[in-house]
Amino acid sequence: MVIRRAVERDAGRLTRLVRSSRAYEGRYSSMVEGYRVGPDYIEAHRVFAAVEEIPDGEGGGERVVGFYALLVEAAELDLMFVSDQAQGYGIGRLLVEHMRGEARSAGIDRVRVVSHPPAEGFYRSVGARPVGTVPANPPAVMWDRPEFVFLVGDVGEVGEGG
């Protein structure tokens, strides 16, 4: 598993990860209908992909199994997805630690996350602190969403403050 900077050619694969996520089925499907992670987005933000190498006997190349986008100016984790098939293997945890390192290198001391409700447990499990709730904003978002903050210090440090 390698985490590398996303590039223009990753746009379609990242878009498919978002649109195919089981976390956005049913009542949440409207959030990702028509959603696109474009080359312009990848260029404008710190977008990183978790990739695994595909053995030559299986076609070679690489498979994108997750990604995140850190918006430096807003100090916000805008997107984080792990493919349904790759969940439960620690990839999300690796992406969060990588994101914290990127934030630290950018001089950010805390990173905001407005979570998709089904991801709330994940963010709590990787050290994000709940700080409130972002109210629904119809018609774009029809439900309240939990808001978290990652305190960025040394790797593994949670720190104090709120």
Residues in the chain, overall count:
162
In this prediction, residue 60 carries a pLDDT of 82
User: Beta partners for 132?
Assistant: 147
* Contact status, residue 52 vs residue 65, Cβ threshold 8 Å: yes
Interval 27-45 mean pLDDT: 94
User: Beta partners for 66?
Assistant: 50, 82
pTM of the model: 0.90
In this prediction, residue 156 carries a pLDDT of 44
| Tens of pLDDT, residues 102-157 | 999 999 999 999 999 999 999 999 999 999 999 999 988 899 999 999 999 754 44
Q: How far is CA 73 from CA 21, 30, 31, 44, 70, in A?
A: 27, 27, 24, 11, 9
* Mean of per-residue pLDDT scores for the chain: 93
